[in-house]
Copies of this chain bind each other. A is one copy, B any other.
């Protein structure tokens, strides 16, 4: 089990919940000489999410987007879900992920569980996973968020997500399967059109990049393989907002729309999806009810859902409960009551409120509501931190992006490695400050857009930046070598189109 004693005193145990941009980034930056690092996550890998769209169409190998957490040399890694945290006893209740299924957060089961926090966390089958306790000295909650389906009928069951490598694999299989289905001599022209209509819901960078990558696959590779089918292919991006890519300024967003128009990708803004259901008359087809079209349903072979986030069930559970913590004497006094506290919840997102040092904030339980907008008075819960999509610094206006999660992870790991943030009133530590590195989105056909506070880039130059930028962040040497190799191979020989 390894020796964690140095100079007669044990190193503090830092337990990290999650292996995404926040959790993985934190674990790799935290000084292992100063802390024992323990990670709990249902997945034993980190996913380099910006490349997922590329793997879904075969430009890249799935493996190139993964980094095994086992390679971080952690003191312990437990493959499982954090089910509950006892802040008073400083203990985490873990349910082992011993099923053969992966710990994806986008299965229908997991999404259902997320909407009903009283059920088992993360959709694990009751009684399946062994439970065990993990004690901590410091806790970093970095569990991320789930996909929000807004209760729209059929989304959980029939839409495809693009958040984990398993999702990318499923999309890839479906795209190629639909081409094979459409190629059958018994398939009618009308059904071909349905099977080869790829609908993307959500016009953020993920949705736009997937549409672009899919367009490249069709244009560069499938045109040669299925020359007779290409006339039936359609790609449509639906969004409820009046414009897509809201984080880009008007020039760039307009450039993106013009590029898409030229490539034949339809963008339908102010369109509201109301229902997805299977098309009984066409195997593999779905029918989309869109508010603006009335009763006439749109046929599609795949619906990729890339909009909206909701809180992880663990976060929902943690912000809903009262608890007592012996170390919060001062806070108890303020509360003038039995001394129970609650974690402060962000009113808009349901996330965990932190101070500018990413310390979890608690309020007296008597406040009745812990929504941040109503309760100004809060205090830091000692030794508990939150980073990434589930953390909210009030007033910061930070979006739930990989960039924010990654910077928060580095900030917190460096502060803790320096010995800062070790008590409730550490004024010495500098607060977290987000530095915008800019936003990039791939648009297909070797063009991209890039925007930062300093400059704007579009077209081929932005594409070069897009490709090179992806090689520098959070990647192992292995993938830094392999990703360009895969890109070169796809460029030379075409994308792999075997369905397996």
Q: In the complex, what distance in Å separates the CA atom of A29 from the CA atom of B337?
A: 85
Minimum distance in angstroms from A466 CB to a CB of chain B: 24
Known: A496-B68, A497-B68, A500-B102. A184 touches B79 (CB 8 A): yes
Q: In the complex, what distance in Å separates the CA atom of A225 from the CA atom of B45?
A: 13
Question: Judging by beta carbons under 8 Å apart, are B78 and A500 in contact?
Answer: no
Residues of chain B within 8 A (CB-CB) of A169 are 500
Residues of chain B within 8 A (CB-CB) of A181 are 96, 98
Q: Which of B61, B96, B166 contacts A63 (CB 8 A)?
A: B61
- Determine whether A228 belongs to the interface, using a CB cutoff of 8 Å to chain B: yes
Residues of chain B within 8 A (CB-CB) of A77 are 183
Question: Judging by beta carbons under 8 Å apart, are B130 and A184 in contact?
Answer: yes
Q: In the complex, what distance in Å separates the CA atom of A176 from the CA atom of B79?
A: 12
Question: Judging by beta carbons under 8 Å apart, are A130 and B500 in contact?
Answer: no
- Determine whether A430 belongs to the interface, using a CB cutoff of 8 Å to chain B: no
Question: Judging by beta carbons under 8 Å apart, are B70 and A497 in contact?
Answer: yes
Question: Judging by beta carbons under 8 Å apart, are B63 and A498 in contact?
Answer: yes
Minimum distance in angstroms from A34 CB to a CB of chain B: 22
The copy count of this chain in the complex is 2
Known: A132-B185, A184-B79. A98 touches B63 (CB 8 A): no
- Determine whether A1 belongs to the interface, using a CB cutoff of 8 Å to chain B: yes
Question: Judging by beta carbons under 8 Å apart, are A184 and B78 in contact?
Answer: yes
Residues of chain B within 8 A (CB-CB) of A132 are 184-186
- Which A176-220 residues sit within 8 Å CB-CB of chain B? 176-177, 180-181, 183-186
- Determine whether A173 belongs to the interface, using a CB cutoff of 8 Å to chain B: yes
In chain B, what residue has the closest Cβ to A66?
A: B498
Q: Which of B62, B96, B177 contacts A184 (CB 8 A)?
A: B96
Residues of chain B within 8 A (CB-CB) of A180 are 44, 79, 97-98
Question: Judging by beta carbons under 8 Å apart, are A496 and B63 in contact?
Answer: yes
Minimum distance in angstroms from A1 CB to a CB of chain B: 7
Q: Which of B45, B70, B98, B173 contacts A283 (CB 8 A)?
A: B98
Q: Which of B102, B226, B492, B498 contacts A499 (CB 8 A)?
A: B102
Residues of chain B within 8 A (CB-CB) of A1 are 228
- Determine whether A50 belongs to the interface, using a CB cutoff of 8 Å to chain B: no
Q: In the complex, what distance in Å separates the CA atom of A44 from the CA atom of B78?
A: 39
Question: Judging by beta carbons under 8 Å apart, are B225 and A70 in contact?
Answer: yes
Question: Judging by beta carbons under 8 Å apart, are A478 and B493 in contact?
Answer: yes
Question: Judging by beta carbons under 8 Å apart, are A482 and B477 in contact?
Answer: no
Minimum distance in angstroms from A93 CB to a CB of chain B: 12
Q: In the complex, what distance in Å separates the CA atom of A126 from the CA atom of B134?
A: 49
Q: In the complex, what distance in Å separates the CA atom of A68 from the CA atom of B97?
A: 35
- Determine whether A489 belongs to the interface, using a CB cutoff of 8 Å to chain B: yes
Q: In the complex, what distance in Å separates the CA atom of A186 from the CA atom of B76?
A: 13
- Which A128-184 residues sit within 8 Å CB-CB of chain B? 130, 132, 165-166, 169, 173-174, 176-177, 180-181, 183-184
Q: In the complex, what distance in Å separates the CA atom of A96 from the CA atom of B178?
A: 12
Residues of chain B within 8 A (CB-CB) of A493 are 476-478
Residues of chain B within 8 A (CB-CB) of A80 are 184
In chain B, what residue has the closest Cβ to A177?
A: B100
Q: In the complex, what distance in Å separates the CA atom of A68 from the CA atom of B180?
A: 12
Residues of chain B within 8 A (CB-CB) of A96 are 181, 184, 186
- Which A473-500 residues sit within 8 Å CB-CB of chain B? 476-478, 481-482, 485, 489, 492-493, 496-500
- Determine whether A284 belongs to the interface, using a CB cutoff of 8 Å to chain B: yes
Q: In the complex, what distance in Å separates the CA atom of A131 from the CA atom of B68?
A: 45
Q: Which of B43, B184, B225, B489 contacts A481 (CB 8 A)?
A: B489
The contact sample of 15 A-B pairs, CB cut-off 8 A, is A1-B228, A44-B498, A63-B498, A68-B498, A71-B225, A98-B181, A98-B184, A98-B283, A100-B177, A100-B284, A102-B500, A130-B184, A130-B283, A477-B493, A478-B492
| A interface residues (Cβ-Cβ under 8 A, vs B) | 1, 43-45, 61-63, 66-68, 70-71, 77-80, 96-98, 100, 102, 130, 132, 165-166, 169, 173-174, 176-177, 180-181, 183-186, 225-226, 228, 283-284, 476-478, 481-482, 485, 489, 492-493, 496-500
Add 4 more A-B contacts to A45-B500, A68-B497 (CB < 8 A): A67-B498, A98-B184, A166-B500, A478-B489
3 A-B pairs with least C-beta separation: A45-B498, A478-B493, A66-B498
